[in-house]
Structure 1
Amino acid sequence: MDKRSKIALYIIGAVIVFMMIAEVTKPKPLNWRDSYSASDKIPLGCYILFNELETFSAGEILTSERTIYEYLKRVDTTTPKSLVFINNYLSFDKEESLALMDFAEKGNTVFMSGNYFYGNAIDSLNIAVVRQYNNLYKKESDHKFTSPSLQKNNRLFKDVIENSHFSSIDTLNTTILGTVTTKDEDDFDETNPNFIKVNVGENGGQFILHTNPFAFTNYHLMADKADYAATVLSYLPKQQIIWDNNYKSGRKVITSPLRFILNNPALKWAFYISLFGLILFVIFRGKRTQRIIPVINKLENATVDFTRTIGELYYQHGDFSNIIEKKINYFLEFVRSHYYLDTNQLNQNFIEKLAVKSSNTKEDAKALVDYLVFLKSKTNHSEQELIELNKKIEHFTKHKL
């Protein structure tokens, strides 16, 4: 490969690397997609709720990852259970609706929270839902419980909310558990049921329906709506909960560009063989052309060793006066550079200023300065005086030197 080709490859590689870095490092916008999935930590996911759901369950949380018709054929219904659906809309075909009704008639509980409901199961309960399509995500609504003892858990939803309510119910079998109040076009309060319980069969089965799934999302649970959501779920009987993770707007789907290749057996094996061959080429080609990289030793910092050697030299020669002189000069330089004090006259005024600026007592400052003056007045010094000077300076500066 000639020099021009190598330069072109380097440039192309640099551009690709730069684009990858720019893509990885750019800030990601906040994802406001409706999800309600147990694994999503985005604002409209249900990660927090799912991890706190054991509080309301009589056993381990079961998770359904398939249609409810398929799941209920395999689950044990000999003991009562609660089936929990939370999504922006919930739709069930004929087989799924029959499975739900049969499940409830055996004495189980079906909890649904959604802005809208579709299917034969809902039709058989004789209820209808109205969804407000104006001012989505903006029109605030006041959610209240009908029980007087639960009024403290009422909440006003000011944002991230789509308002729905039940426009008709079967009064013989239905109990209203909560209401929603919004402003109509004339700015008058309009109150409608949005949280109901419908009795089914002769074995104590029930449908508990709620029209505000946003209340269970991470966004509102992280705010001040956790008590409201907990109160809604407290109407579930204390029995094992089945969490639906299939009827979700945020259900996990593979979106990789390689999805088509990996789903086709022939293309998948061709991709794997090509990738394996490329790895072998890089390994063996690298071994043939790689040159020995020389070992470069780490640069040593000889400053500390030099200082130690000079200090030992002074000390071994017993030149204590020279060492004391240098320590005094170094300390005074420290005072000038850190405390901005004039060190020409070590008088009473200097002692007072030094004590204030160094956060030491006046007595400690005076003891140190007097000892410095005493040492400066002598021509010969002993080892003990050097040790004493060092102790006083270290005590005074508290190791700031």
Structure 2
Amino acid sequence: MDKRSKIALYAIGAVIVLMMIAEITKPKALNWRDSYAAADKIPLGCYVLFNELKDISNNPLKISTKTAFEALKDLENTKKTVSIFINNGIGFDKQDSESLLKYVENGNSVFISANYLYGDLSDTLNIRIGTDYNNFFKKPSLNSFISPNLKPNERHFKDVIENSFFTSIDSLNAVALGTTKVEKTGEIINDTIPDTNINFIKIPFGKHSGAFFIHTNPFAFTNYHMLNDNDAYAATVLSYLPKDQIIWDNYYKSGRKVITSPLRFVLQNQALKWAFYIALLSLILFVIFRGKRTQRIIPVVEPLKNTTLDFTRTIGDLYYQHGDFTNIITNKVQYFLEQIRSKYYLDTNELNENFISKLAVKSSNKKEDTKALIDYIMYLKSKLNHTEADLIQLNKFIESFTKSNI
């Protein structure tokens, strides 16, 4: 890789790192999604209300993460409870509605706060919830109570509101508890909807003091309004409920977390999501650069075998078998003298006293041992015929001299 390519690669890497840092450190946009979940701290979650209920309740709160049919079918009837359903829209099917009706008929209570209530339950209770999209939908509204004693707890919801109200109720059974009032602006032709409408009712059901409490302003229970001086209104609405153990619904929620795969779980968690992206990017970079740098397998080439030693051994064996000790001694002496010349840089033409002294010093041998070796070599050179004993003695002298030097 040339210098220009490296600079471009480093620049791209730096840009990616800066983008990641900017993404991580940038302020998070406020999430205005409808949630109503107990664990959500976003404006339209119910974290504040849920924890307030835990603090003021005499009994521990039960949390339901199932449908009404599944949650209530195994519920013991020995102790009365209050089930709380809060969401922007709630729909109960036939099984859920029958379970709730039976539950309330046994003396329990159900509180529902929703802008839209649909399904079999609303048909059985003979109620309809609607809104005036022309004048009423998201306008500031005054939510108050029928009882004049509760006037200090009424609140004016200026924003973050969707005004719904009852368009039809069973006047023989339902008891109005609260109203909502919107000041209309503009001239609407044939506008028959009054300014003040009922938004909170109680419907007694069964012979054991059970009741449905239906409320049409779920926004009043969100974190936004609970922390903006509207908590007194929410507390007053809930004060109508019996002081029984509370079952908090966490199933009929717009913010209910539905995890259908491990990848969805990873991507919904901010830390795990970034860890996954970084791992994926690292894997791609590894494949790109590793693929370029990896060479194909180089075959192992065996080095050429040095047969000089085998050849020498074979020739020596031939000489030895034929009893040509003179030739072996001559070659051995020549090889020894060649080693002295190449290692100690000494002239071997004259093997005199000066040569012996220099060789003894350079080879770190005693002068007497060095002289004995050289004298024996000179003796062998003076002989015409040699015996096996001469060869053995020469070999002993050379091995003793060269054991740690040559």
CA contact (8 A) 2:137 2:164 kept: no
- 3-state SS of the aligned residue for 2:195? strand
Q: 1:2: Cα distance to partner?
A: 6.3
Residues 247-304 of structure 1: CA distance to partner in whole angstroms, max 9, x if unpaired?
Answer: 1111124499933999xxxxxxxx9xx99x97xx9xxx9xxxxxxxxxxxxxxxxxxx
Which one-letter code corresponds to 1:33 in the other structure?
R
2:259, 2:265 within 8 Å by CA — same for their partners in 1?
no
Cα separation, 1, equivalents of 2:57 and 2:95? 27
Q: Indicate the RMSD between aligned Cα atoms, in angstroms.
A: 3.0
**CA distance 1:170–1:261, shift in 2 (3 Å):** closer
2:102 corresponding residue in structure 1: 102
Alignment of 1:234-273 (within 5 A): 234-254=239-259, 258-259=263-264
CA contact (8 A) 2:145 2:178 kept: yes
**1: distance between equivalents of 2:132 and 2:243?**
34
Cα displacement string for residues 301-353 of structure 1 (whole angstroms, at most 9, x for unaligned residues): xxxxxxxxxxxxxxxxxxxxxxxxxxxxxxxxxxxxxxxxxxxxxxxxxxxxx
Q: Which amino acid aligns with 1:197?
A: K
Aligned match of 1:23? 23
User: Partners in 1 of 2:78 and 2:64 — Cα distance?
Assistant: 18
Counterpart of 1:313? none
Q: Is contact 1:194–1:210 with CA below 8 Å preserved after alignment?
A: yes
User: Displacement of 1:43 after TM fit?
Assistant: 1.1
Q: TM-score, normalised by structure 2?
A: 0.61
Alpha-carbon deviation of 1:14? 1.6
Q: What are the residue-to-residue correspondences of 1:382-393 with 2, within 5 Å?
A: none
For 1:199, give the aligned amino acid.
Answer: P
Query: How far off is 1:123 after superposition?
Result: 1.0
After superposition, the C-alpha distances for 1:124-148 in whole angstroms (9 at most, x for unaligned) are: 0111111232467741111111112
Query: Which AA in structure 2 matches 1:233?
Result: L
Which residue of 210, 217, 226 maps to 2:231? Answer: 226
What amino acid sits opposite 2:180 in the alignment?
V
Matched, 1:201 2:206: yes
CA contact (8 A) 2:108 2:211 kept: yes
CA distance in 2, matches of 1:6, 1:74: 68
Partner of 1:397: none
SS in 2 for 1:101: helix
Residue 153 of structure 1 deviates from its aligned partner by 0.5
State the Cα deviation string for residues 74-123 of structure 1 (Å, max 9, x = none): 33332100000111111111111111111111111000001110111111
Unaligned runs of 5+ in 1: 263-270, 286-401
Unpaired runs of 5+ residues, structure 2, are 268-275, 291-406
- 2:122 maps to 122
For residue 216 of structure 1, what is the aligned residue in structure 2? 221
TM-score (norm 1): 0.61
CA shift, 1:162, in A, is 0.7
Paired with 2:137 and 2:197, the residues of 1 have a C-alpha distance of 19
Residue 183 of structure 1 deviates from its aligned partner by 2.6
Give how far 1:41 is off.
1.0
- 1:335 aligns to what? none
Higher mean displacement: 220-229 or 9-18: 9-18
Distance between the aligned counterparts of 1:89 and 1:235, measured in 2? 22
Structure with higher Rg: it is 2
**AA of the residue aligned to 2:15:** V
Native 8 Å contact 1:137 1:159 kept in 2 = no
Q: Secondary structure at the match of 1:178?
A: strand
Q: Which amino acid aligns with 2:169?
A: I
Q: 1:38: Cα distance to partner?
A: 0.8
Could you say if the C-alpha distance between residues 180 and 261 of structure 1 is closer, same or farther in structure 2, counting changes exceeding 3 Å? closer
Q: Judge conservation of contact 1:56–1:238 (CA < 8 Å) in 2.
A: no
DSSP-derived class of the 1:247 partner: coil
Mark the CA change 1:153 to 1:260 in structure 2 (over 3 Å): closer, same or farther: closer
**Conserved in 1, the CA contact under 8 Å of 2:61 and 2:247?**
yes
Structure 1 136/8 Cα, relative in aligned 2: closer, same or farther at 3 Å?
farther
Q: 1:59, CA displacement in angstroms?
A: 0.7
Paired residue secondary structure (1:53): helix
Residues 246-395 of structure 1 aligned to structure 2 (within 5 Å): 246-254=251-259, 258-259=263-264
Give the residue type in structure 1 aligned to 2:11.
I
Instruction: Report % sequence identity.
Output: 61
Q: Which amino acid aligns with 2:203?
A: V
1:211 partner letter:
T
Aligned match of 2:82 = 82
- CA spacing shift, 1:255–1:23, aligned 2, 3 Å: farther
1: CA distance, partners of 2:261 / 2:70: 28
CA distance in 2, matches of 1:182, 1:171: 23
Matched letter for residue 223 of structure 1: N
Q: Distance in 2 between matches of 1:10 and 1:74?
A: 63
> Counterpart of 2:156?
156
Q: Does 1:40 align with 2:45?
A: no
* CA–CA separation in structure 1 for the residues paired with 2:187 and 2:209: 43
User: For residue 402 of structure 2, what is the aligned residue in structure 1?
Assistant: none
Report what 1:146 is aligned to: 146
Q: Distance in 2 between matches of 1:198 and 1:116?
A: 17
Q: What secondary structure sits across from 1:248 in the alignment?
A: coil
